[in-house]
Amino acid sequence: MTDNFWQTLSLEEMTRTQWESLCDSCGRCCLHKIEDEDTNEIYFTDVACRYLDEETCQCPHYEMRQSWVPDCLTIYPDWGDKFNWLPSTCAYRLLYEGKSLPDWHPLISGDKNSVHLAGISVRGRTFRDDKIAQEEIYQHVITWVE
Ligand code: SF4
Ligand code: SF4
């Protein structure tokens, strides 16, 4: 893998391996979100997909995830404005916005655990969506993602 490829290649130019390595496994994109229809503003909740591994914050069904959750996101380099659906700490959104990766990102720190140590991941902070009644979701809006 090219050293610091994220500084020299566009999202479109990256190999699949490089692209996948941008994900820091924070688990934030697996939180349920609520969109204000009038303002298009996105609000995150602390309710996570039932399949998210609460310890690793990774998806145990990643390759086949749409078979388990049909509306689970697939991120594409040409997503454009849709990068706003991702948390502001997400490497895909940061690079799309022309920003740098933070020090806690595993590609910078060399340590996959740094995303948890920095308090960025959702580890220990979520409820599973199969344990929450749908009408309760509005009580779970959080501000620690943004
Ligand atoms: S928000 Fe971004 S960095 Fe975090 S798990 Fe999702 S894709 Fe990976
Ligand atoms: S299926 Fe996997 S990737 Fe998709 S929301 Fe659930 S845990 Fe996250």
Residue 119: per-residue pLDDT: 96
135: which 2 tokens? 């009408």
Domain boundary assignment for the chain: 11-140
Mean pLDDT for the chain overall:
95
Per-residue pLDDT band for 19 (boundaries 50, 70, 90) equals very high
Per-residue pLDDT band for 3 (boundaries 50, 70, 90) equals confident
Strand bridging mode 127-128 / 42-48: parallel
Q: Where are the beta strands (DSSP E) in the chain?
A: 31-35, 42-48, 127-128
Nearest in space to 48 (alpha carbons), one of 120, 127, 121: 127
Q: Tell me the pLDDT tens digit for each residue of 39-85.
A: 988 999 999 999 999 999 999 999 999 999 999 999 999 999 999 99
Distance from the alpha carbon of residue 83 to the mean position of ligand 2, in angstroms: 17
> Ligand 1: which residue has its CA nearest to atom 4?
26
Q: Is the CB of 94 under 6 A from ligand 1?
A: no
pTM of the predicted protein model: 0.94
Please tell me the distance from the alpha carbon of residue 142 to that of residue 33, in angstroms, as a whole number.
10
